[in-house]
């Protein structure tokens, strides 16, 4: 991480600037609207393997979440019976979705995918984790001490959401919902921490 990286301090104007930018990104806005329709209108429940599989495949394709066996992940989600968890806004279900036993008995942690899967069902309850959000939060914690946490805490979903709420409060951004905060952090992270595609990502 570049300690001398000059990230502009989060503010109402800064977030609004990135939200306006988001609305100009036709590929992302159309992608999001199609996923919203798929997850909340066409297949809102998670008790049918066909329905869950098409949601997993669509999310994996749009976000490149490295789900190399969508069928295994879809079966895992079905077995968790998550609709009751969504009804209760249960945050613990995210880490349960993330831990998938693959063929051969090896367990993979698809954490970023799991946050996206839950967020597309209830975007105001389940904020998204990815590598850009991770880097922004870690850098701003180092710079402004807005909350006390470690990088590993970001991968424990209940703590991750608390950290985002701490972030929003510290910088006086309570007028923005967590989906908007996510859109800001993701775009800013993409600007300040462009990926080196020669190296592996910590996306999941």
**Tens of pLDDT, residues 90-122:** 999 999 999 999 988 899 999 999 999 999 999
Identify the pLDDT of residue 27: 83
Query: Using 50, 70 and 90 to split pLDDT, how confident is the model at 29?
Result: confident
Query: Using 50, 70 and 90 to split pLDDT, how confident is the model at 196?
Result: low
| pLDDT tens-digit series, residues 122-132 | 999 999 999 99
The pair phi, psi for residue 99, each rounded to 5°, is -85, 105
The percentage of the chain sitting over the pLDDT mark of 90, rounded to a whole number, equals: 84
CA distance 91 to 69: 24
Radius of gyration of the chain (CA): 17
Joined tokens for residue 38: 């798929």
Identify the pLDDT of residue 201: 39
Query: Using 50, 70 and 90 to split pLDDT, how confident is the model at 203?
Result: low
Query: Using 50, 70 and 90 to split pLDDT, how confident is the model at 26?
Result: confident
Identify the pLDDT of residue 200: 35
Report the Cα–Cα distance between both ends of the chain, in Å, rounded: 19
Q: pTM score, two decimals?
A: 0.92
């Amino acid at each position: 991480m570049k300690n001398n990286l000059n990230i502009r301090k989060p503010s109402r104007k800064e977030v609004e600037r990135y939200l306006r930018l988001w609305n100009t990104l036709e590929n992302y806005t159309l992608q999001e609207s199609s996923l919203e329709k798929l997850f909340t209108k066409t297949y809102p429940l998670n008790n049918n393997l066909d329905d869950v599989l098409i949601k997993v495949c669509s999310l994996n394709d749009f976000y490149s979440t490295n789900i190399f066996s969508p069928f295994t992940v879809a079966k895992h989600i079905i077995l968790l019976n998550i609709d009751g968890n969504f009804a209760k806004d249960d945050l613990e279900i995210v880490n349960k979705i993330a831990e998938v036993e693959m063929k051969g008995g090896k367990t993979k942690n698809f954490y970023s995918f799991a946050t996206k899967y839950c967020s597309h069902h209830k975007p105001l309850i389940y904020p998204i984790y990815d590598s850009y959000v991770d880097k922004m939060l870690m850098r701003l914690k180092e710079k402004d001490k807005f909350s006390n946490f470690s990088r590993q805490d970001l991968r424990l979903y209940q703590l991750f959401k608390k950290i985002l709420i701490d972030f929003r409060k510290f910088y006086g951004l309570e007028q923005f919902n967590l989906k908007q905060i996510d859109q800001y952090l993701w775009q800013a992270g993409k600007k300040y921490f462009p990926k080196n595609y020669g190296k592996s990502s910590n996306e999941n």
